[in-house]
Amino acid sequence: MLGSGRHFAYIQYVLDIQTVEETEILDFAAHLIYTTSLLLCRLSGLAFYHRLSSRNPRFVLAIRIVFAVMIIGYIPQLFLIIFHCIPVTGLWPYDFQPGHEKYDCLQWGVVYSVNSIVSVICDLFLFGVPVFMIRMLNISRKKKIQLGAILLPGILVIGISVTRLVFVIVGQWNEDMSWAYNPMLAIEVTEIGATLVALSVPGVKPFIDKFVLRRNINDDEDTKGQSKYANQSHSRQSDTPLHSLNLRSAYMYDGRQDDRKANEHEASAQGFGNFRTRNKYGDNQSDNSADGILVHVDFQGLAFQALCATHKPNPPFAFNPNLLPLQENAGTEDLFPMSDCAGFKLEEATLGDMRQALEDGQLTSVELVACYLTRTYQTQEYINSVLQVNPDVFAIAAQRDAERKRGNVCGPLHGIPFTVKDNIGTKDSMETTAGSWAMLANLVPRDAHVVKKLRDSGAILFGKATLSEWADMRSNDYSEGYSARGGQVRSSYNFTVNPGGSSSGSAVGVAANAIAFSLGTETDGSVINPANRNALAGIKPTVGLTSRAGVIPESEHQDSVGVFARTVTDATLVLDAIYGVDKRDNYTLAQRGNTPPRGYAPYLTNKTALKDAVFGLPWESFWVYADDDMKGQLLDLLDLIESAGATIINGTEITNYETLVSPDGWNWDYGTTRGYPNESEYTYIKVDFYRNIETYLSEVNNTDVKNLADIVQYNYDNDGSEGGFPYADGKGIPAFASGQDGFLASLATNGVRNETYWQALNFCQSSTRQGINDALSYNGTKLSGLLVPAQVGQAPQIAAQAGYPVITIPGGYAVDSGMPFGLGIMQTAWAEGALVKWASAIEDLQRSTAAPSKRRLPRWLGYLERNIPVPF
């Protein structure tokens, strides 16, 4: 035995003590190694499966359960092997004498039987992991069977474990243990080998792809007798917007990607025309080069083919009307007509409409994403609202559909696409750049808190929205909505004028029906201004209601993440999904005790609520700065509100408005203009940005830009694209007339919080807060809110300095330009509930009376113009 050439019975008979000792020691060591090796193999397989779908909560729970079973099973196995003789040295009896054993040992058959039973149980649990994983896949049964076939070695492992158990049970009664030991060793070696083979199966993925699944897919495409649309969908794929964007998914199960080597995407400065896909090393890749899980799944192709095959006889992408603008309809809403989505009218659809269609099975999330991608492709070259499309968007949509099919719906936003401003971090295949080439390839360590909350709510991140570069921090004379990386955003209402910013693409995309809703950020007006100029409902929350963690910062004192939607109800549903306490943003701690337990949706109401409303009108503070056209239309809206029973009190002014409000329009350095930098918002914003951007850059990877000085130098070195110098004498670019004077002003502060800094911060915050609070309490009457012309930039500016919330809704349309303007409502801190209530009531009043001030579709004026800069 074990190379001695003699049977174990003979060795014992002749009392060959040395061989007995060697045999027992080797057997002891072999079984320790065998048991530990099996555990490591199992844990390795478990880790592999965990990596495939580490974000699916049910799958992660299953992984943890199996891991616990592995460990719980290994511990008794180990202890049984080591201590089945007491003391342990009884395993190799040096003074062995027949009939004089002084050691207590369990019968070896008992030890190995228990170990074998535990091994079988562990193997069954481990095998259950890929089985559960296959069940999760949203693919055809045929593909599931093909995947299941490559798991056959796992069944072999279980069979070998059972065989080992049988040999143990049968062999323990043999008088000559050689007849049991030799087969046992052979079985154990085979078992470990089979386990390694089973866990190595994913390594043969390229072979499976090339010779098995690829052939099957081709066979499916060539099958005769199928619907003509199946073949048409395959041939059309090469010239659809899906193919043009060259999108693909790197995973199958989840709406997120853990591998930071994922493909990164960048857009040209002029739109989608030069969208391309590249990996982190800059190499262009084809769709077939993307790594899948076990087997590559091309969600772009499969989703498209599935859509066409399931919508006979009218495939969803029979593009009618044409994607190109219908020039005979220039100046009308029908210049860029929007097709229905699988029979569902998507244009102007609310989140509730979409949710109902998804619940009824009229629509899938994959179809919804495809239709919004079609709309984006139709409008992108003109309005430039999207900086980057999420390459994993179809994978996420397919996952959301699978979750809905299983009854796992996370809430009212489940399966609905959205975009975020490009200064909001997303840990996926997209970069976060604030529109600057200096930040290209910026990889963030985690999702921004608001993005995580939206993902958790089941919403689908469609892409990044274009913005004013660095959220308007880099320059003081610039083209609103322009960024070096994203180009010029243009409002679908009028291409030639300011689209509003800095969250320009977020607002423009929602207004053009290119996305369901979007997130933006505001330091001073950057949510309210673009919402107001694109006929949207826009909510800028109290500073601290929505976390800023993961957002490229400007000032912690004023930054706030806000919402763009086509209705107040939609905006409120999104706000409910994103607000909340976040340990990474201390300002959010202040909301405790100040937010409603059931969110803000219960505050939604209708026009009948207006009979109890008492609004204030700060006329001298803001209204006097509105032009006559705007003022006249807004006053008509106020008359309508009063006719519904509301009371409007004129002259509810902001305290000390003469000092706080610039008479010359929006001016965040108005204090310095008056000769008092210690009363200027810009004084502390400059310092805050210097400090905050350095902190932010210290946490990101894959970029050499580490502080503000690096950004400034990059802009100088790349003046032709970034406009580091002022636009004069052959330097700079027209979009940044003053170059990067905002950055230079911030750089000059060195981030020092001196006495002037603290005085300015205290003055602006305390004065504006007192001013708004006083105006809301008129002669002892607590007002429902302050009604303001949102287009007058001083109104949202005062609220921004106070850190107070504002909401805007459509209020009218300029006669000369066709551009929308809004009616804003201001309130005190944490009063978002009141804003939602009154804005929803006024919106219902507008819609029910067909008021001319209500939201209407854009007319695409000047759609062939490309002027830069756009005038304010």
Token couple for 10: 């003979």
Residue pair 523/685 in contact (Cβ under 8 Å)? The answer is: yes
* Mode of pairing for the β-strands spanning 537-540 and 806-813: antiparallel
Out of 233, 491, 503, 526, which one is annotated catalytic? Answer: 526
Residue 569's φ and ψ, nearest 5 degrees, are: -60, -45
Beta partners for residue 265, in sequence order:
277
Biggest alpha carbon–alpha carbon distance for the chain: 117
| Total count of residues recorded for the chain | 872
Distance CA 811, CA 626 (A): 13
Residue pair 510/565 in contact (Cβ under 8 Å)? The answer is: yes
Distance CA 668, CA 801 (A): 9
Token couple for 533: 């100029």
Nearest alpha-carbon partner for 377 in 416, 324, 321: 324
Residue pair 824/622 in contact (Cβ under 8 Å)? The answer is: no
User: CA 500 → CA 389, 535, 819, distances in Å?
Assistant: 22, 11, 11
Distance CA 178, CA 190 (A): 18
Q: How far is CA 305 from the centre of its chain?
A: 26
Identify whether 698 is a catalytic site residue: no
User: CA 162 → CA 158, 169, 529, distances in Å?
Assistant: 6, 11, 71
Token couple for 129: 């992991």
Q: What is the 3-state secondary structure (H, E, C) of 544-606?
A: CCECCCCECCCCCCCCEEEEEECCHHHHHHHHHHHCCCECCEHHHHHHCCCCCCCCCHHHCCC
User: CA 679 → CA 659, 668, 675, 684, distances in Å?
Assistant: 10, 10, 9, 10
Out of 53, 116, 119, 421, which one is annotated catalytic? Answer: 421
Residue pair 670/657 in contact (Cβ under 8 Å)? The answer is: no
Query: Within 10 Å of residue 402's Cβ, how many Cβ atoms?
Result: 17
- Collapsing DSSP to helix, strand or coil, 106 comes out as coil
- Collapsing DSSP to helix, strand or coil, 823 comes out as strand
Residue pair 412/355 in contact (Cβ under 8 Å)? The answer is: yes
The DSSP annotation for 243-278 comes to: HHTT---S-SS-SS---TT--EEEEETTEEEEEEEE
The DSSP annotation for 295-306 comes to: B---HHHHHHHH
Q: How far is CA 73 from the centre of its chain?
A: 39
Query: To which H or E segment does residue 615 belong?
Result: strand 614-617
Residue pair 7/1 in contact (Cβ under 8 Å)? The answer is: yes
Identify whether 421 is a catalytic site residue: yes
The tokens 């999108």 sit on which residue? Answer: 247
Out of 119, 502, 504, 840, which one is annotated catalytic? Answer: 502
Residues designated catalytic = 421, 502, 526
